[in-house]
Amino acid sequence: MCANRVRSGLSVLGIVFGVAAVVAMLAVVEGARNDVLERLSRLGTNVLFVHSKTENSGVERGLQYGDAHRLAHISSLIDMVAPAVVVDLRKHESVIGVTPSYMSVRQLFLQSGRALTDVDLKNRARVCVVGREIVGSDGSTVGLGDVVHVNSQMYQVVGIIASEKSSKDRSLGSLLRNHNNAILIPMTTLPKSSNVVDDAILLTEITIRTSDAKDLVATSEVVERALSQGQLSKPSVEIIIPRQLLREEQHAQRVFASVVGCVAFIGVLVGGIGVMNIMLANVAERCKEIGIRRAVGATKKQIAMLFLIESILLTLFGGVGGLILGAIASHGIARFGGWSVSISIWSILLAFGTAGIVGLLAGWYPAKRAANLDPVDAMRRE
């Protein structure tokens, strides 16, 4: 009996590793998905970026303010357009020339004061909205009504942006910029050569918000076409859909998941064979008992159930072990691999489902053998 338990425990090890691999695989996949969702939710799931690739040059032209005006009205798919010019300053600070739509497209909120308005834009008002970490010339953080110097021009602070969770995002880095260090000024107040019209202001990017996240790809095509239809030549841009970018970045996780998936498959398969083996030994050893049960009136089905249930219990037991091992492994991956992992109720159910089904399949043949034993014959055997 005791030896039996050791034997059963060993046979179930394959199931333990198989289920652990299933759990770890799902944890990585789920974690990667949550990661994407989390990062996307900060950018907004329904935005795309038109990013300038060049300054004006002899051959190519850059993205211009006028392009943003045109894009705003070309399609009902487009909900809002936010052009921006980003000028990096020292101390990680950046000045961003924007229009009033910038804050809503970027999901920025005010902590105090007011936002930039169309009137500011039209009047070329020297006002700004700043992040919480902007410091004045005296070294203290600036407040409402203070004055900050940008390119030797003075801008009055009219609003403070609510603090953002800072992030170091590998692939969305430039898009997910940290506005705690930003100074937003009206686009029209940016310093430029006097003979340049506003529409020719060179942009860093245009952020476009669509009404619906599923229109992103369609919108990017519309934008692509619209940009090349202007009076001028097509600007040199790249269109970035954050969701697609992230999907590509999940490549490593996907490769890992498929490798671990194979391990899971092999583990479960080997485990299943082990369990089948142990159940066959079990049936052989309990031959006399089976004969006795049959002799006192058990049907074939009742005998089969006896062994099927035992087999399923055995693999479910392995499933519990696998779940624990898988959780530990996932924790390790998160800790040392730096990936986000997440064990959902579904992966727990799948782990037990897998274990149970393996138990059913592995127990089927032994149970059938037990059921088909001849009662008299079986009782005679020792």
Partner 1 sequence: MESNTNIVDVRGLRKVYRETETHVVALDNVSLTVHGGEFVAIVGASGSGKSTLLHLLGALDTPTSGVYELNGKNVATMNDDDLSVVRRTDIGFVFQVFNLIGQLTVLDNVSLPLRYTGIKDCDAEVRALESLTRVGLSHRATHLPSQLSGGEKQRVAIARALVIEPALVLADEPTGNLDSQTGCAILELFETLHRDGHTIVVVTHDENVAKRADRVITISDGNIVRSEVNA
| DSSP helix/strand/coil, 133 | coil
**Near partner 1 by CB under 8 A: residue from 33, 70, 300, 369:** 300
Q: In this chain, which stretch among 106-114, 160-168, 252-260, 289-297 interacts with partner 1, using CB under 8 A? A: 289-297
Percentages helix, strand, coil for the chain, rounded to the nearest 5? 55, 15, 30
Q: Is 375 one of the binding residues for partner 1 (CB under 8 A)?
A: yes
| DSSP helix/strand/coil, 174 | coil
Q: Is 179 one of the binding residues for partner 1 (CB under 8 A)?
A: no
CB 62 within 8 A of CB 234: no
Q: Tell me, what amino acid is at 92?
A: H
95: left (phi over 0), alpha (psi -120 to 50) or beta: beta
Q: Is 299 one of the binding residues for partner 1 (CB under 8 A)?
A: yes
215: left (phi over 0), alpha (psi -120 to 50) or beta: alpha
- Torsion angle, CA of 219/224/226/230, rounded to 10 degrees? 160
Q: Which of residues 1-40 bind partner 1 (CB under 8 A)?
A: 1
Q: Is 313 one of the binding residues for partner 1 (CB under 8 A)?
A: no
**Near partner 1 by CB under 8 A: residue from 292, 320, 324, 360:** 292
Q: Is 112 one of the binding residues for partner 1 (CB under 8 A)?
A: no
**Near partner 1 by CB under 8 A: residue from 297, 336, 338, 345:** 297
In the complex, least distance from residue 295 CB atom to partner 1, rounded to whole angstroms? 6
**Near partner 1 by CB under 8 A: residue from 154, 217, 232, 376:** 376
Q: Is 306 one of the binding residues for partner 1 (CB under 8 A)?
A: no
Tell me how crowded residue 381 is: count the other CB atoms within 10 A of its CB.
12
Q: In this chain, which stretch among 95-103, 162-170, 242-250, 285-293 interacts with partner 1, using CB under 8 A? A: 285-293
Q: In this chain, which stretch among 36-44, 260-268, 298-306, 330-338 interacts with partner 1, using CB under 8 A? A: 298-306
Q: In this chain, which stretch among 15-23, 46-54, 59-67, 284-292 interacts with partner 1, using CB under 8 A? A: 284-292
In the complex, least distance from residue 287 CB atom to partner 1, rounded to whole angstroms? 12
In the complex, least distance from residue 312 CB atom to partner 1, rounded to whole angstroms? 20
In the complex, least distance from residue 288 CB atom to partner 1, rounded to whole angstroms? 7
Copy the structure tokens of residue 288.
């006399």
Q: Is 229 one of the binding residues for partner 1 (CB under 8 A)?
A: no
- Whole-angstrom Cα distance, residue 151 to residue 289? 94
Question: HSE of 319 in the Cβ direction (CA atoms, 13 Å)?
Answer: 20
Q: Is 368 one of the binding residues for partner 1 (CB under 8 A)?
A: no
| DSSP helix/strand/coil, 64 | strand
Q: Is 302 one of the binding residues for partner 1 (CB under 8 A)?
A: yes
Q: How far, CA to CA in Å, does 316 sit from each of 13, 105, 307? A: 12, 50, 14
- Least Cα distance to 231 among 59, 56, 81, 64 occurs for 64
**Near partner 1 by CB under 8 A: residue from 121, 241, 281, 298:** 298
Beta carbon nearer to partner 1, 114 or 380: 380
Reported as type and span, the H/E element at residue 160 is: strand 153-161
Q: Which residues of 52-78 are buried (b: 16+ CB within 10 A; e: fewer)?
A: beeeeeeeebbbbbbbbebbbebbebb
Q: In this chain, which stretch among 106-114, 122-130, 267-275, 290-298 interacts with partner 1, using CB under 8 A? A: 290-298
Nearest 5°: phi and psi at 11?
-65, -25
Beta carbon nearer to partner 1, 284 or 349: 284
Q: Which residues would be at the binding site for partner 1 (CB under 8 A)? A: 1, 288-289, 291-302, 374-376, 379
